[in-house]
Chain A
Amino acid sequence: MTDESKIQPILEIKNLTVDLPNDSDRIHAIEEISIYVDPCEILCLVGESGSGKSVTAFSVMGLLPKDQLTPSSGTIDLMGENLLEVSAKRLRELRGARMSMIFQEPMTALNPTMTCGDQINEVLVTHTSMNYAMRRAKVINILGQMQLTDLSSIADSYPHQLSGGQRQRIMIAMALVLDPVLLIADEPTTALDVTTQEQILRLIKEIQHNHETAVLFITHDFGVVAEIADRVVVMQAGRVIEQGPAKLVLKQPNSPYTKMLISSVPNFVSHCRPLTKNAPIVLATKNLCKTYVRRGLFQKTREIRAAHSVNLEIRRGATLGIVGESGSGKSTVARCIARLIDPTSGHIYLESYDIAQVSQNSLRALRSRVQIIFQDPYRSLNPRRTVGASIIEGLVNYGMSKKEAYNRACLLMPLVRIDPDVLNRFPHQFSGGQRQRICIARALAMEPDLIIADEAVSALDVSVQSQVLELLDDVRRRLNLAVLFITHDLRVAAQVCDTVAVMHRGEVVEYGEATRVFDNPQHEYTRALFAAAPGRGFDFANVSIST
């Protein structure tokens, strides 16, 4: 029979159902999930937030929050052992040794008060009887396999002393030091820069190949799927809605939901838009510099050039994108322009008025003309205020009566496609996408000339991301706004920007019309960014449903 000829999977989840607490919006976090991971295979579990992909992974590790999520039926077999029935002691023996897990945000997933070497060493202390010298040798050896250099100094460093990529390598080293048969990776590259993401993905693939590990890889990004997956399982609202070989699912998805997810991945083709060359310049910077100086009585003065000689221009009705990785200075520029921080030197012209060195008092009158939308809509709205109160706060501060301000907020809501009746609700009652639209409404309420969107869609699911981007663009067109769009994601920039500035180490390395930069990047760093984007060879926009 076919069953006998089939290889035994490393992990087999059968009909797994996990219940949510009683007061939730649905009964099950995941329902009747059946998936398997074969030896030496990378299975990508794809879905948007709330789809149950992380719950599935945590069920395997036995790390579900106690009392809140409980597996109610089904089995999880790891090489023939049902993880839902083994003792707590046996589960601890398996964790870190037979199966291990890496997490999304390596900064928070590592203990800040222990050196990286100690954290890896702890796995060895827990699961083996090796002596100190053997353990140290093993730690150094696994760090070497992570393609890190200067191994013993890395082992003695604390997580905050390393870069994001290095930290994630430490996490991977910790997970793989005992050669587990199963590695679960929960969005391991989502918090990383594109170039780092590319390296980490390559590393995981290589290690998986060398150690013949089975990998359960959780992601929301079909770009990453195209890069790494052997097989794909797509989840939506706690159910598996599609599974199959990666190539097949990516090219001919069966379900409309999968197709929607795939085609939401923006591609690099820049949209041609009517040029706004003759529109008045709303904001221009000239030789804008920001240098952080660290002084100490007994220490050497250190200077960090966060932004150096930045020259940019934004015209009315146009979008300028600043693209760069973390630490490139893109947010510093945005904050200088909004005068949230004071530039060290240079000029910032808001229309013709230089605001670079204006005092905080005279700045107040100008504040309403530049508004910011921040990255994380969960944290940029005050959880204890109704969204209506958040939206009108700025207006009331500038002397408008509450009633008038509220009326204006109501008029704004259709523009961001939210029902004005919900203004008296609190932020937690909205989804991420809705919250970001509320943040847009809050910015628009001030009737600004310039909107700064600082990574405004980075925290959102791809499908929501495209909606918010489209909305932002629609608002820009209707109100003829100037938009400064800060992003680390080239594909997002390609969708909305008229002009693009690529920043690297505090300097603008490439600046020009979006179509020109995307079709024919000149600077090597820009090219490196393009080369690192996951799934770059894949045309996500034109996927058809198989029939």
Chain B
Amino acid sequence: MFGFVVNRLLATIPVMMIVTIFVFLFLRLAPGDPAAVLAGDNGSPQQIIEIRERLGLNQPVLVQFGTWILGIAKGDFGKSYFFKKQVSELILLRVEPTIALATTTLIITILVAIPIGVIAAYKHDTWIDWIIMTLSVVGFSIPAFVLGYILIYLFAIEINLFPVQGYKPLAEGFWPFLHQLILPSLTISAIYIALIARITRASILEVLGEDYIRTAYAKGLKPNSVLLKHALRNAAVPIVTVIGIGIALLTGGVIVTESVYNIPGIGRLIVDAVLNRDYPTIQAIVILFSFFYVIVNLLVDLTYSLLDPRIRY
């Protein structure tokens, strides 16, 4: 187990290297010039050249890459072109709202999706199952920004139950913090609830056909115990896989939702960085996200072995 974790952590090194190369090259292949953005609409060609020189953008790409990598090796992700701050500082400032949003989303998703998935499987082919499955199609189909505005309209403007927009840090108290986060979290959750409820249902349905479920009934267990003690744990591996993928994809959902609800998180930061061609910031965030993705995958793999004793590393 220990060896496995060490191996996997070592394996992240080449992965991260490939990611850095790709993100660096693709950014420079993409159209747009940070110097032109910084100079503004009225900037003269002379100004643009000066800015380029200042940012080191006139150097050969390989040299730029080398300077950047050497910086990272020293823990320096560079300075943002646009915000004029150290990128690491910038990310630290913005990371709390995003982590908060992702965590509440995840908790809501798991608390809702798994129970309704289990119920749908148990009530397979009844009206309860049909309703749950129909709702999950709806959840899949509504884009996050549409759902976001619908929820704002219903719960913030019409009923006035939740604030329309904005974010309160955890430091200002847990309840105001949560109160602000509920609508954005629900917005992102919808698609994951739909996805995970479906996979839970499918997975449980498959397990319910297994021989050991019959054995459990033959022991005289109640349907509830059979479902929760025997079926769910055996169905957990695919569910955890999808939750893992969901966490990774969450980064995408966070970007849209932070814009809709005006939350000052990483998602907003990356949107701003892309619009302004702020290379150092984009690169750092992409690396952060990929590292996060690798770690989530590792955690998912470790969870497998907790859930299923046959899986050993």
Interface residue ranges, A against B (CB under 8 Å) = 61, 63, 92-97, 100-101, 103, 105, 108-114, 122-123, 126-127, 158, 160, 171, 174, 296-299
Q: Which of A93, A109, A113 is the one whose CB lies under 8 Å from B211?
A: A109
Q: Which of B6, B217, B220 is the one whose CB lies under 8 Å from A97?
A: B220
A sample of 13 more A-B contacts (CB under 8 A), given A110-B212, A123-B220, is A63-B218, A93-B220, A96-B221, A103-B211, A105-B211, A111-B216, A113-B233, A114-B229, A122-B216, A123-B219, A127-B220, A158-B309, A297-B6
Return chain B residues, CB-CB under 8 Å to A108: 210-212
Q: Cα distance A376–B48 when bound, in Å?
A: 74
Q: Cα distance A434–B40 when bound, in Å?
A: 79
- With both beta carbons as reference points, the residue of chain A lying nearest to B216 in the complex is identified as A111
Q: Which of A63, A93, A100, A160 is the one whose CB lies under 8 Å from B214?
A: A63
Q: Which of A95, A113, A160, A297 is the one whose CB lies under 8 Å from B218?
A: A95
The reply to whether the CB of B234 lies closer than 8 angstroms to some CB of chain A is yes
Q: Cα distance A298–B7 when bound, in Å?
A: 10
Are B221 and A126 in contact, CB atoms less than 8 angstroms apart? yes
Q: Cα distance A125–B2 when bound, in Å?
A: 36
Q: Cα distance A296–B219 when bound, in Å?
A: 41
Q: Cα distance A7–B7 when bound, in Å?
A: 69
Are B219 and A126 in contact, CB atoms less than 8 angstroms apart? yes
Write the nearest CB–CB distance from A169 to chain B, whole angstroms: 15
- With both beta carbons as reference points, the residue of chain A lying nearest to B232 in the complex is identified as A113
Closest 8 CB pairs of A and B: A298-B3, A96-B220, A95-B220, A108-B211, A96-B219, A111-B212, A109-B211, A158-B309
Write the nearest CB–CB distance from A400 to chain B, whole angstroms: 39
Which chain B residues numbered 5 to 54 have a C-beta less than 8 Å away from chain A?
6-7
Are B211 and A100 in contact, CB atoms less than 8 angstroms apart? no
B3, B212, B221: which has the most chain A beta carbons within 10 Å? B212
Interface residue ranges, B against A (CB under 8 Å) = 2-3, 6-7, 210-212, 214-222, 225, 229-230, 233-234, 307-310
Return chain A residues, CB-CB under 8 Å to B217: 63, 95
Are B215 and A111 in contact, CB atoms less than 8 angstroms apart? yes
Are A109 and B309 in contact, CB atoms less than 8 angstroms apart? no
Are A101 and B7 in contact, CB atoms less than 8 angstroms apart? no
Given A103-B211, A108-B212, A299-B3, do A113 and B219 touch, yes or no (CB 8 Å)?
no
B229, B309, B310: which has the most chain A beta carbons within 10 Å? B309
Write the nearest CB–CB distance from B50 to chain A, whole angstroms: 53
Q: Which of A93, A112, A174, A299 is the one whose CB lies under 8 Å from B308?
A: A112
Return chain A residues, CB-CB under 8 Å to B310: 112, 158, 160
29 A–B pairs (Cβ distance < 8 Å), ordered by A: A63-B214, A63-B218, A92-B221, A96-B218, A96-B219, A96-B220, A96-B221, A100-B218, A100-B219, A103-B214, A103-B215, A109-B212, A109-B215, A110-B212, A110-B215, A112-B212, A112-B234, A112-B308, A112-B310, A114-B230, A122-B219, A122-B221, A123-B220, A126-B220, A126-B221, A296-B3, A297-B7, A298-B3, A298-B6
Q: Cα distance A248–B307 when bound, in Å?
A: 53
Q: Cα distance A160–B311 when bound, in Å?
A: 11
Write the nearest CB–CB distance from B41 to chain A, whole angstroms: 58
Write the nearest CB–CB distance from B237 to chain A, whole angstroms: 10
Return chain B residues, CB-CB under 8 Å to A97: 220
Write the nearest CB–CB distance from B75 to chain A, whole angstroms: 29
Return chain B residues, CB-CB under 8 Å to A96: 218-221
Are A111 and B234 in contact, CB atoms less than 8 angstroms apart? yes
Q: Cα distance A511–B85 when bound, in Å?
A: 81
Q: Cα distance A96–B226 when bound, in Å?
A: 14
Return chain B residues, CB-CB under 8 Å to A63: 214, 217-218
Write the nearest CB–CB distance from A389 to chain B, whole angstroms: 28
Q: Cα distance A402–B266 when bound, in Å?
A: 59
- With both beta carbons as reference points, the residue of chain B lying nearest to A100 in the complex is identified as B218
Q: Cα distance A177–B102 when bound, in Å?
A: 48
- With both beta carbons as reference points, the residue of chain A lying nearest to B219 in the complex is identified as A96
Write the nearest CB–CB distance from A254 to chain B, whole angstroms: 34
Write the nearest CB–CB distance from B1 to chain A, whole angstroms: 9
Are A174 and B212 in contact, CB atoms less than 8 angstroms apart? no
Q: Cα distance A100–B214 when bound, in Å?
A: 12
Return chain B residues, CB-CB under 8 Å to A101: 218
Are A160 and B219 in contact, CB atoms less than 8 angstroms apart? no
Are B7 and A95 in contact, CB atoms less than 8 angstroms apart? no
Are B211 and A95 in contact, CB atoms less than 8 angstroms apart? no
Return chain A residues, CB-CB under 8 Å to B3: 296-299
Q: Cα distance A381–B237 when bound, in Å?
A: 28
Q: Which of B212, B220, B229, B308 is the one whose CB lies under 8 Å from A92?
A: B220
Write the nearest CB–CB distance from A76 to chain B, whole angstroms: 15
Write the nearest CB–CB distance from A333 to chain B, whole angstroms: 27
Q: Cα distance A96–B216 when bound, in Å?
A: 9
Return chain B residues, CB-CB under 8 Å to A171: 215
Return chain B residues, CB-CB under 8 Å to A61: 218
Are B308 and A113 in contact, CB atoms less than 8 angstroms apart? yes
Return chain A residues, CB-CB under 8 Å to B2: 298
Write the nearest CB–CB distance from A3 to chain B, whole angstroms: 33
Return chain A residues, CB-CB under 8 Å to B308: 112-113
- With both beta carbons as reference points, the residue of chain B lying nearest to A61 in the complex is identified as B218
Return chain A residues, CB-CB under 8 Å to B230: 111, 114
Write the nearest CB–CB distance from B182 to chain A, whole angstroms: 35
B216, B219, B233, B309: which has the most chain A beta carbons within 10 Å? B219
Q: Cα distance A110–B3 when bound, in Å?
A: 31
Return chain A residues, CB-CB under 8 Å to B218: 61, 63, 95-96, 100-101
Write the nearest CB–CB distance from A51 to chain B, whole angstroms: 20
Write the nearest CB–CB distance from B202 to chain A, whole angstroms: 19
Write the nearest CB–CB distance from A119 to chain B, whole angstroms: 8
Return chain B residues, CB-CB under 8 Å to A158: 309-310
Return chain A residues, CB-CB under 8 Å to B234: 111-113
Return chain B residues, CB-CB under 8 Å to A94: 220
Q: Cα distance A109–B219 when bound, in Å?
A: 12
- With both beta carbons as reference points, the residue of chain B lying nearest to A122 in the complex is identified as B219
Q: Cα distance A252–B214 when bound, in Å?
A: 37
Return chain A residues, CB-CB under 8 Å to B210: 108
Return chain B residues, CB-CB under 8 Å to A160: 309-310
- With both beta carbons as reference points, the residue of chain A lying nearest to B212 in the complex is identified as A111
Return chain A residues, CB-CB under 8 Å to B307: 113
Q: Cα distance A126–B215 when bound, in Å?
A: 14
Q: Cα distance A100–B3 when bound, in Å?
A: 44
Q: Cα distance A296–B1 when bound, in Å?
A: 11
- With both beta carbons as reference points, the residue of chain B lying nearest to A103 in the complex is identified as B211
Write the nearest CB–CB distance from A301 to chain B, whole angstroms: 13
Q: Cα distance A123–B15 when bound, in Å?
A: 49
Return chain A residues, CB-CB under 8 Å to B214: 63, 103, 109
Write the nearest CB–CB distance from B306 to chain A, whole angstroms: 10
Q: Cα distance A299–B2 when bound, in Å?
A: 10
Write the nearest CB–CB distance from A167 to chain B, whole angstroms: 11
Return chain A residues, CB-CB under 8 Å to B222: 92
Return chain A residues, CB-CB under 8 Å to B7: 297
A63, A100, A122, A160: which has the most chain B beta carbons within 10 Å? A122
Q: Cα distance A114–B219 when bound, in Å?
A: 15
Q: Cα distance A447–B220 when bound, in Å?
A: 55
- With both beta carbons as reference points, the residue of chain A lying nearest to B233 in the complex is identified as A113
- With both beta carbons as reference points, the residue of chain B lying nearest to A104 in the complex is identified as B211
Write the nearest CB–CB distance from A19 to chain B, whole angstroms: 19
Return chain A residues, CB-CB under 8 Å to B211: 103, 105, 108-109
